[in-house]
């Protein structure tokens, strides 16, 4: 009888172990599927507060993170040294809901593509607009979208460059208040955006296409 009970106990433990392992395998498989169902894209368009807010309202966008990219300096910071870097956002999105080309179309109507000195009231290299591409497919899409903008404004010079993706450094630590700033400090954000002339200039360029 003891042997029988021991055998049953061992079997139960073994089955429980298999069940746990099976659950873990299912969770890992689900995480892998979620990763394959999402993609990332990087854009610079002046103040990352504004770019983050503009992209997060787009259906199919899962998350937007503010940070720096495009430079050679490692671990740039907002209050410290970020020379050579662009203020940028990393957009995580679901390609089944929004395509990379749609992200590009949304990007263009949220920047001034003719400004070679910054964006709106913000001047200097870190505020320049740029599209960062991770592969040839993204480059082709970005170039096609840029051609469309050039054709839309034959009398203007579109200066926004298409650059290879480099390391993206998210704003973090003591400076993490920059993430979702438009949600954390909505009044200050709206005052900044208006006083900077961003929406006024976007309306001037894009008319009703301006997404604000």
How many independent structural domains does the chain possess? 1
Q: Which of 47, 50, 121, 196 is catalytic?
A: 47
User: Considering the domain boundaries, does residue 16 fall inside one?
Assistant: no
- Residue 10 lies inside a defined structural domain of this protein: no
Assign residue 190 the CATH number of its domain.
Answer: 3.30.1060.10
Listed as ranges, residues in the chain with pLDDT below 70 are: 1-36, 211-212
- Catalytic residue status for 47: yes
* Residue 149 belongs to a domain: yes
Nearest to 43 by CA among 29, 58, 31: 58
Bridge partners (DSSP) listed for residue 123? 118
Cα 35 to the center of its chain, rounded Å: 15
126-185 confidence digits (pLDDT tens): 999 999 999 999 999 999 999 999 999 999 999 999 999 999 999 999 999 999 999 999
Residue 127's nearest CA partner among 81, 68, 79 is 68
């Amino acid at each position: 009888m003891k042997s029988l009970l021991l055998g049953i106990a061992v079997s139960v433990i073994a089955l429980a172990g298999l069940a746990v392992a099976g659950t873990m395998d299912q969770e890992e498989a689900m995480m892998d599927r979620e990763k394959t169902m999402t993609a990332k894209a990087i854009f610079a368009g002046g103040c990352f507060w504004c770019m983050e807010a503009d992209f997060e309202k787009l259906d199919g966008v899962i998350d937007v993170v503010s940070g720096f990219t495009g430079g050679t300096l490692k671990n740039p910071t907002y209050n410290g040294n970020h020379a050579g870097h662009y203020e940028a956002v990393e957009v995580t999105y679901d390609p089944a809901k929004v395509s990379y080309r749609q992200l590009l179309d949304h990007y263009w109507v949220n920047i001034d593509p003719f400004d070679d000195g910054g964006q709106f009231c913000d001047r200097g290299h870190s505020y320049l607009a740029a599209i960062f591409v991770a592969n040839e497919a993204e480059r082709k899409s970005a170039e096609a979208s840029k051609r469309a903008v050039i054709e839309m404004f034959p009398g203007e010079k579109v200066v926004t460059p298409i650059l290879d993706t480099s390391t993206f450094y998210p704003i973090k630590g003591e400076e993490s208040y920059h993430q979702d700033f438009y949600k954390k400090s909505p009044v200050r954000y709206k005052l900044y955006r208006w006083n900077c002339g961003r929406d006024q200039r976007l309306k001037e360029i894009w008319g009703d296409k301006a997404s604000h």
